[in-house]
Every structure is written in structure tokens, then in C-alpha cells.
Amino acid sequence: MKLVLKITNIVLTSALILIIAFAAVIGFSAWLSEDKIPTINGYKLLTVLSGSMEPAIQTGDVIIERPLAAGEKVKEGDIITFFTKEKTDMLITHRVVGTINVNGKPAAYVTKGDANQSKDLSTVAPDQIVGIYKGRIPYFGYVSNFLHKPVGIIVGVILPGLILIGFEFRKIWQTLSAAEDKKAAKDAGLKQGGGEQAKV
């Protein structure tokens, strides 16, 4: 039973440390990035705030976007993230459902959310595109956002730290108690041995 508890403690502690470290890396990379979008090894990480792409992408997912290479063409069916024309600080992640070509080159893309009934009203120019969707981390956006709030810092960082310190103090106390018990047993054995010699 003690072994199971010890393994569980190690696994949970390791998972918590990894989650906190990853959230910290995301925050720091956003601070360093020119566009304030978290970027790791060239890939951009974004939190999904709406359900317009469900079921492919769920609300709260962190999606991984790869910036387009020079001359790379977007194909119909690709999922892209782009800045809107109306609000240059707003990002949308939708699927490309059509291409408008001018002189044989793509001038704009028609997009649509998988869960939406109609296509987006505005087309997307190539220079609006942030990246092309490559994968997702399910629901990690909720964890990341929570850990960046004061209550999240307390619950996700300070509280686990205090728990770990408590475990360490418990181990020290158990070690000292075992040493004291061993010493007491040894002293008791010596006294008993001494009494038997006196009788002889």
C-alpha cells in the first residue's frame, strides 16, 4: 500500500510540475514574441475560445499552428488561423472551403467554421494568415488560463509546493522517530543485559 501511495505521489507531482512548467513557457514565449502569440520552436500555440470548429477542435483546446513557408499554398480543407479585417487583434481558426484566384494565384480564401451553418462573410487574404493547423492539446487552454490567474497560482503552484514541503518534513520526522526508537530499543537491551549479569 505504501509503495502504491509513493508511486501515485511521484506521478502526480511530476505531472503537476510538467503542466506548470509548460504553462510558464507559454507565458514567457508570448512575452518574447513580437505578435504576443506564444511560439515554441517556430510553432504558435493558441487557446480556442469558441466552439465554431467543433467537433474537430473543442473549446478550451490549445491548438498548434505552423506558419506558412514562403510560397506555400493553402488548400481547401486546411484549417487556418487568421487575423480578421475588422479587428486586427482578433484571431479566428476556421476551415478553408474555397479559393479566389486572380491571374492564376490565390488572392483570397473563403472560410467557414465546421459547426457554423454559413460561410464567413469576409474572405481571408494571404497576409492575414497566422498559420496552418497541425494539432491540438485537448482542454489545456483551461489549465493554462487558470494558472495565470491569482487563484490559479495559489492552487497550482503555492499549494502543491507546501504539500511537497509537508511530505519532506514528514519523511524527516519519520526518519528521526525511527532513529530514536532504535536508540531506545538498544538502550533498553543494554539495561536488560546489565541486570542479568548482576544476578549471576
Q: List active site positions.
A: 52, 94, 120
CB 81 within 8 A of CB 63: yes
Name the residue among 31, 37, 67, 61 with its Cα closest to residue 47.
Answer: 61
Q: How many CB atoms lie within 10 A of CB 169?
A: 10
Rounded CA separation 68/90 (Å): 19
Strand segments (E) across 67-157: 79-83, 91-102, 105-112, 129-137
Residue with cell string 520552436: 41
Name the residue with cell 533498553: 188
Question: For residues 61 and 142, what is the distance between their CA atoms, to the nearest angstrom?
Answer: 8
In DSSP terms, 102 is beta-bridged to 105
Residues whose CB is less than 8 angstroms from the CB of residue 82 and which lie 6 or more positions away in sequence, other chains included: 91, 92, 94, 111, 124, 128, 129, 130
